[in-house]
Amino acid sequence: MEDNFDLLQSAYDPETFRRRGYELVDLLANYLGATLNGKDPKTLRWQLPEEQYRQWSEDAENGPHTDPGELFGGVLAGSVHLHNPCYMGHQISPPAPVAALAGLLGDFLNNGMGVYEMGAPSTAIERVVVRETARRMGLASSADGVLTSGGSLANLTALLTARSVKGGAEVWQHGHRQPLALLVSEEAHYCVDRAVRIMGWGEDGIIKVPVDAHYRMRTDLLEGFLQSARSASKKVIAVVGSAGSTSTGSFDDLEAIGDFCQKHGLWFHVDGAHGAAAALSDRYRHLVRGIDRADSVVMDFHKMLVTPSVTTALVYREGNHSYATFSQKGQYLWSSDEEAEWFNLAKRTFECTKLMLSVRAYSIIRTHGWEFFQQYVTRVIDLGRQLGAMVLAHPALELAVPPEGNIVCFRFRSPQLEEPERSLLNERIRQCLLEDGTFYVVQTRLKGENWLRTTLTNPFTTATHLEELLERVVELASTKVPAKG
């Protein structure tokens, strides 16, 4: 028996762990320094999927390798560098170093969070973080909620709560007796559509309200859509507002949606996965005016609050509603199933086992204060608006919509260029940027046409970086424009 134990003993050797840990932190600290000060200018070292796969399958075939440092270094080298000020791509943000350390702590302790004793500090911290988040959104002290694994899951969870509260209590027991539906803007994140279909409401259960020229929900159309749904014997139970939308970062008028929901007794859900964080900025809180009237709000800490992915707050105006989400018996877990026990978190989340999410978010709050979030959110929205103004002033570039937040969509244009050539050209510009690694931006389709899409998410991006991006786009366009005729 003894001779089969050596691997286990060496794997858990405290001194080996200490050494590797220091090496990893050195690696990351060096990366952070080099990428922030421009010594390592690449946001990404592009490799085709097959090349990448060949490299790692060879690595696996030749293993095991005793030094994890090569693995850590290799993953670092091949990954997108969010801490690089020229990273302006997807909505996730460069994690605050302290929050990444908190993530390591959570990974190491691995308490499962389902019941109180499996994560006593992180369970209590979760309550602190969620309640304080709710307070800062302007919600009353009855507000409460949970942290969960991502905005998509949080939106589904909130809509299940809405169904329990507004859809008739029998649904959980007997399924749907009447077709249910909700109203949402056509620009909403696709996870809302998925949530509706997962709940079994089908295509007819999601009523998509058109948007205005700024990609905001046409709230003036809500009344008409509600009446025609009712004429078709659908039971509309909720309206989902986007704060902001994923493609263009447009903020729906939450006050108007709140009025509408109040008038008709509907559940008011705000998908603020991206932009609810604006509530933490004195300068930009107005973007989410009305959020305090929502029955439920989703906010991703990994998007505009520099926390490692995925860490999402799901807040309810009436905290007790969260216990209605899963009207399911789980007595083997909870000593008293009927009681609303805030400290047994799995009563209110999809997750049974969950990461120790609260420690990551709280490590930032405790170390740097909420003022840190205010500075971050204000800074990246300032940057978004600055880029918007620069594009607007540029003769060869065009803005999809004046940015309200830190998402900016633009494209190269010229009078001779028409669709679909213009879309193809912008797609190629984006591919060149990806492959040369200078700037990381993504793309989106709006009304069937391609746009370059940026999310200003690195607070160390400056006006000079923005100017260089625009120059580079124009330069690529002029070298890649297909000859006419």
Ligand X SMILES: *Cc1c(COP(=O)(O)O)cnc(C)c1O
Q: Which of 91, 122, 66 is nearest to 361 (CA)?
A: 122
For residue 273, state whether it binds ligand X (rule: CB under 6 A). yes
Phi, psi of 267 (to 5 degrees): -75, 135
- What does DSSP assign to residue 452? E
**Smallest distance, ligand X to C-beta of residue 404, A:** 13
CB neighbour list of residue 15: distance below 8 Å, 6 or more residues apart: none
Q: Are strands 312-316 and 144-148 parallel, antiparallel or unpaired?
A: antiparallel
Based on the shown chain and the rule CB under 6 A, indicate whether residue 180 belongs to the binding site for ligand X. Answer: no
- Hey, which residues between 58 and 77 contact ligand X (CB under 6 A)? none
Q: For the stretch 262-284, what's the b/e string if a residue is b when 16 or more beta carbons lie within 10 angstroms of its beta carbon?
A: eeeebbbbbbbbbbbbbbbbeeb
| Binding flag, residue 295, ligand X (CB under 6 A) | no
Q: What is the nearest approach in angstroms of ligand X to the Cβ of residue 111?
A: 22
Q: Give the footprint of ligand X on residues 349-378 (CB under 6 A).
A: none
Spatial neighbors of 157 by CB under 8 A, at least 6 apart, are 146, 148, 314, 325, 349, 350
To ligand X, the closest distance from the beta carbon of 191 in angstroms equals 5
CB 65 within 8 A of CB 20: no
Q: Quick check: 453 binds ligand X (CB under 6 A)?
A: no
Is 310 a binder of ligand X (CB under 6 A)? yes
Q: What is the smallest separation between the CB atom of 217 and ligand X, expressed in angstroms?
A: 13
Residue closer to ligand X by CB (options 356, 357) is 357
250 binds ligand X (CB under 6 A): no
SS3 322: helix
Please, what is the Cα angle at 71 between 67 and 75, to 5 degrees? 160
State which of residues 88, 191, 299, 400 lies at the interface with ligand X (CB under 6 A). Answer: 191
CB of 155 to ligand X, least distance (A): 6
Nearest position to ligand X, beta carbon: 151
Helix (H, G, I), strand (E, B) or coil at 399: strand
| Minimum distance of ligand X from residue 273's CB (angstroms) | 4
Distance CA 402, CA 397 (A): 13
Stretch that binds ligand X, among 78-86, 271-279, 343-351, 397-405 (CB under 6 A): 271-279
**CA distance linking residue 316 with residue 154, whole number of Å:** 11
Helices of type H across 346-482: 357-368, 370-392, 421-436, 463-480
What are the tokens at 255? 């006050």
Among positions 35, 43, 84, 91, the unique one binding ligand X when judged by CB under 6 A:
91
**Residue 246, interface with ligand X (CB under 6 A)?**
yes
CB nearer to ligand X: pick between 236 and 277? 277
Q: Pick between residue 271 and residue 404 the one whose CB is nearest to ligand X.
A: 271
189 touches ligand X by CB under 6 A: yes
| DSSP state letter for 345 | G
Distance CA 223, CA 75 (A): 52
Site for ligand X in 145-174 (CB under 6 A): 150-152
Report, in Å, the least distance between residue 34 CB and ligand X. 28
| Residue with smaller CB distance to ligand X, 115 or 188 | 188
CB of 219 to ligand X, least distance (A): 17
CB of 233 to ligand X, least distance (A): 30
Determine if 274 is a binding residue for ligand X (CB under 6 A): yes
- Cα–Cα distance for residue pair 201/160, rounded to 1 Å: 12
Binding site for ligand X (CB under 6 A): 91, 150-152, 189, 191, 242, 246, 271, 273-274, 300, 310, 312
